């Protein structure tokens, strides 16, 4: 009897030990899945992933902070969902809230608004088509990681350490309206080393990887051929005439850098597409699809949301330089270009129209191509970045207008945007409702007298969005 009791006790002890081991194994597995999930969004983009982290030119301050900050509690980016190592959410079990609700999203057809908490669901994430309109499947799937492939793309911001809180606001909006579902990387560039606060705050807000680069001196200084005395006199004269930023040296370095160097910083060489974001901008509507993928699939190279006339005092001889370039490099001028956007007399004079470059989604390989580099270097030799105050907006716009076919320039009506003092609020009430916009349509600049956007529509023979007549 005693022997029988001892055997039962042994069985119980053995069973308890076995259950304990089982419990430990299953807990461990759960932990591993969880950490996979939260690390995966910080990997490189799907297409042409860079082999390794690249330091900036001259071995300056390029660094990657995502790995050094513990982000495994979520990033504060909406639902905190990350994508897998391929940049897309895994179908099935690892993306929270993406269990099985195909029928649910089907049943939402016709409505533009999913109930709060509706889980996103896609079975074939890698191949999923983009929903471009409310009638397309998946339009309402605004929770969780977005389906579909990722482009080799990054956000890019030039900023000073003192811009940290203004860029934080911009990032928050870009993440909430778009990137929390896509987890694209973000490259920050500065002529000085970024400080820890800047890195900590921005890394905590971006759902993709963050990279920080210090701009090499030769990209942020006077080229040798510039006559310093002449440049100084220009600044003094512009200060007297109260031309905005007319007396600023750093603003001129900024404009020259954005015109000719940002796209060839070592960190940017890892990418094919960029979306430029400045401090204190606003995004007023949800971005329902991937603008990078839209650009790639529709063969676009450059895009804009706002256009206007440049302040002539800052570019008196810019067009002379452009004409010199056209004469010297006729082979770079595209057939079917947008000269009609830039000039009212077939190229004799510049009408000052330009795309506002504080917002840009564009192709980096185009900017790194020989035609663009020849264009920039030709302008740079003429010295107008310092002898006048040429902005990167007219420089990029004239390049896009002359070196690209006109179909390669895209207007994003559905990306609602503000940079002081102008607003692009999508035309058409239904569009604004579908996109859940919070901008005041009365502030939309597109059809006002000082905008060049009508001209863009005219030369491309495009129909203006419904509702534009009421806004004009
Ligand atoms: N690192 C660095 N960034 C700068 C400097 N000056 C401007 N920037 C950045 O360059 C971009 C354009 O500068 P802004 O001052 O916004 O110029 P702007 O848009 O023409 O003028 P605002 O109306 O003042 O916005 C922004 O992203 C700035 O943060 C500078 O001296 N150093
Ligand atoms: Mg700005």
> For the residues of 196-211, what is the DSSP string, one character each?
HHHHHHHHHH-SS-EE
Asked whether the predicted pLDDT for residue 119 surpasses 50, the reply is: no
Residue 350 lies in a domain: yes
**160 CB under 6 A from ligand 1?**
yes
Which run of H or E residues covers position 307?
Answer: strand 307-309
Residues making up the chain, counted from first to last: 472
User: pTM here?
Assistant: 0.78
Distance from the alpha carbon of residue 339 to the mean position of ligand 1, in angstroms: 29
**CATH assignment of the domain containing 417:** 3.90.550.10
Task: Give φ, ψ of 339 to 5 degrees.
Answer: -55, -35
pLDDT value for 121: 39
pLDDT value for 252: 98
Distance from the alpha carbon of residue 281 to the mean position of ligand 2, in angstroms: 8
Are the C-beta atoms of 203 and 211 separated by less than 8 Å? no
Residue 102 lies in a domain: no
Per-residue pLDDT tens digits for 189-218: 999 999 999 999 999 999 999 999 999 999
Residue 205 neighbours by CB under 8 Å, 6+ apart: 75, 76, 77, 168, 171, 172, 175
Residue 467 lies in a domain: no
Mean per-residue pLDDT, 234-246: 97
Task: Quote the number of domains for the chain.
Answer: 1
Residue 255's CB: how many other CB atoms inside 10 A? Answer: 24
Distance from the alpha carbon of residue 251 to the mean position of ligand 1, in angstroms: 7
pLDDT value for 143: 85
The model's confidence at residue 16, banded by pLDDT at 50, 70 and 90, is low
Ligand 1 atom 24: the closest Cα is on which residue? 420
Distance CA 23, CA 414 (A): 51
**357 CB under 6 A from ligand 1?**
no
Residue 269 lies in a domain: yes
The model's confidence at residue 374, banded by pLDDT at 50, 70 and 90, is very high
81 versus 141: the higher-pLDDT residue is 141
Residue 115 lies in a domain: no
pLDDT value for 424: 98
Task: Kindly give the number of the ligand 1 atom that is closest to the alpha carbon of 391.
Answer: 20
Task: Give φ, ψ of 64 to 5 degrees.
Answer: -120, 120
pLDDT value for 17: 67
How many Cα atoms sit within 13 Å of 16 on the Cβ side? 6
**358 CB under 6 A from ligand 1?**
yes
The model's confidence at residue 232, banded by pLDDT at 50, 70 and 90, is very high
Catalytic (active-site) positions: 360
The model's confidence at residue 126, banded by pLDDT at 50, 70 and 90, is low
DSSP bridge partners of 362: 274, 302
DSSP label of 290: -
Residue 275 neighbours by CB under 8 Å, 6+ apart: 153, 154, 155, 156, 184, 291, 292, 360, 361
Are the C-beta atoms of 353 and 455 separated by less than 8 Å? yes
Distance from the alpha carbon of residue 79 to the mean position of ligand 1, in angstroms: 31
Per-residue pLDDT tens digits for 342-366: 999 999 999 999 999 999 999 999 9
For the sheet containing 422-424, what is the strand order? 282-283, 417-419, 422-424
pLDDT value for 127: 65
Residue 74 lies in a domain: no
Percent of the chain at pLDDT above 90?
A: 67
Task: Kindly give the number of the ligand 1 atom that is closest to the alpha carbon of 166.
Answer: 29
Asked whether the predicted pLDDT for residue 29 surpasses 70, the reply is: no
Task: Give φ, ψ of 412 to 5 degrees.
Answer: -90, 90
Task: Kindly give the number of the ligand 1 atom that is closest to the alpha carbon of 253.
Answer: 31
> Residue 63, Cα to own-chain centre: how many angstroms?
19
pLDDT value for 23: 57
Distance CA 122, CA 95 (A): 11
Ligand 1 atom 23: the closest Cα is on which residue? 420
Mutate to test the pocket of ligand 1, among 60, 61, 158 (most ligand atoms within 8 A of CB): 158
Alpha carbon distances (Å) from 2 to 9, 14, 318, 445: 11, 18, 104, 93
Domain of residue 333 covers 153-460
Mean per-residue pLDDT, 171-184: 98
Distance CA 423, CA 284 (A): 10
Per-residue pLDDT tens digits for 388-435: 999 999 999 999 999 999 999 999 999 999 999 999 999 999 999 999
Task: Give φ, ψ of 354 to 5 degrees.
Answer: -150, 160
- Which range, of 32-46, 257-271, 273-287, averages the lowest pLDDT? 32-46
- Which range, of 84-98, 167-181, 410-424, averages the lowest pLDDT? 84-98
Ligand 1 atom 4: the closest Cα is on which residue? 159
How many Cα atoms sit within 13 Å of 269 on the Cβ side? 12
Alpha carbon distances (Å) from 82 to 54, 273, 472: 24, 21, 43
pLDDT value for 15: 67
**392 CB under 6 A from ligand 1?**
no
Residue 167 lies in a domain: yes
Distance from the alpha carbon of residue 278 to the mean position of ligand 2, in angstroms: 6
**Nearest ligand to residue 161 Cα:** 1
Distance CA 434, CA 124 (A): 25
pLDDT value for 4: 56
Task: Kindly give the number of the ligand 1 atom that is closest to the alpha carbon of 157.
Answer: 27
pLDDT value for 471: 75
Ligand 1 atom 25: the closest Cα is on which residue? 420
* Token duo for residue 443: 């502030």
Percent of the chain at pLDDT above 70?
A: 74
**191 CB under 6 A from ligand 1?**
yes
Residue 123 lies in a domain: no
> What value does the mean pLDDT of the chain take?
81
Pairing of strands 302-304, 409-411: parallel
* Token duo for residue 279: 């401090």
């Amino acid at each position: 009897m005693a022997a029988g009791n001892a055997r039962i006790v042994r069985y119980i002890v053995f069973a308890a030990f076995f259950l304990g081991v089982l419990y430990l194994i299953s807990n461990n597995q759960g932990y591993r899945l969880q950490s996979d999930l939260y690390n995966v969004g910080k990997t490189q983009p799907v297409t042409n992933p860079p082999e390794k982290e690249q330091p900036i030119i001259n071995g300056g301050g390029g660094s990657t902070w995502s790995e050094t900050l513990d982000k495994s509690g979520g990033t504060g980016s909406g639902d905190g969902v990350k994508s897998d190592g391929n940049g897309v959410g895994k179908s099935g079990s690892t993306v929270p809230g993406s269990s099985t609700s195909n029928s649910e999203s089907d049943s939402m057809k016709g409505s533009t608004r999913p109930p709060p908490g509706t889980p996103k669901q896609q079975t074939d994430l890698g191949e999923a088509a983009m929903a471009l309109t409310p009638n397309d499947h998946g339009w309402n799937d605004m929770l969780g990681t977005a389906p579909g492939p990722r482009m080799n793309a990054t956000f890019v911001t030039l900023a000073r350490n003192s811009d940290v809180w203004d860029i934080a606001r911009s990032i928050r909006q870009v993440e909430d309206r778009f990137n929390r579902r896509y987890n694209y990387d973000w490259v920050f560039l500065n002529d000085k080393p970024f400080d820890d606060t800047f890195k900590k705050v921005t890394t905590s807000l971006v759902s993709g990887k963050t990279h920080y680069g210090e701009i090499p001196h030769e990209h942020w200084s006077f080229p040798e051929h510039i006559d310093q005395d002449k440049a100084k006199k220009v600044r003094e004269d512009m200060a007297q005439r109260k031309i905005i930023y007319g007396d600023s040296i750093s603003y001129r370095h900024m404009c020259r850098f954005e015109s000719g160097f940002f796209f060839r910083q070592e960190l940017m060489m890892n990418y094919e597409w960029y979306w430029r974001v400045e401090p204190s901008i606003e995004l007023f509507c949800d971005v329902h699809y991937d603008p990078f993928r839209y650009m790639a699939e529709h063969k676009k190279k450059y895009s804009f949301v706002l256009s206007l006339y440049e302040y002539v005092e800052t570019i008196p001889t810019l067009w002379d330089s452009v004409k010199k370039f056209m004469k010297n490099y006729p082979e770079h001028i595209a057939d079917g270009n947008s000269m009609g956007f830039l000039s009212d007399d077939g190229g004799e004079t510049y009408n000052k129209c330009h795309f506002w470059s504080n917002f840009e989604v564009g192709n980096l390989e185009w900017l790194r191509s020989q035609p663009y580099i020849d264009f920039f270097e030709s302008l740079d030799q003429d010295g107008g970045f310092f002898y006048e105050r040429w902005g990167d907006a007219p420089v990029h716009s004239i390049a896009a207008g002359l070196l690209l076919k006109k179909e390669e320039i895209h207007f994003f009506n559905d990306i609602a945007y503000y940079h002081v003092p102008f607003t692009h609020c999508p035309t058409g009430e239904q569009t604004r409702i579908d996109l859940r916009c919070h901008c005041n349509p009365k502030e939309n600049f597109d059809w006002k007298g000082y905008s060049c956007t009508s001209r863009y529509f005219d030369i491309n023979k495009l129909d203006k969005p419904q509702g534009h007549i009421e806004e004009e």
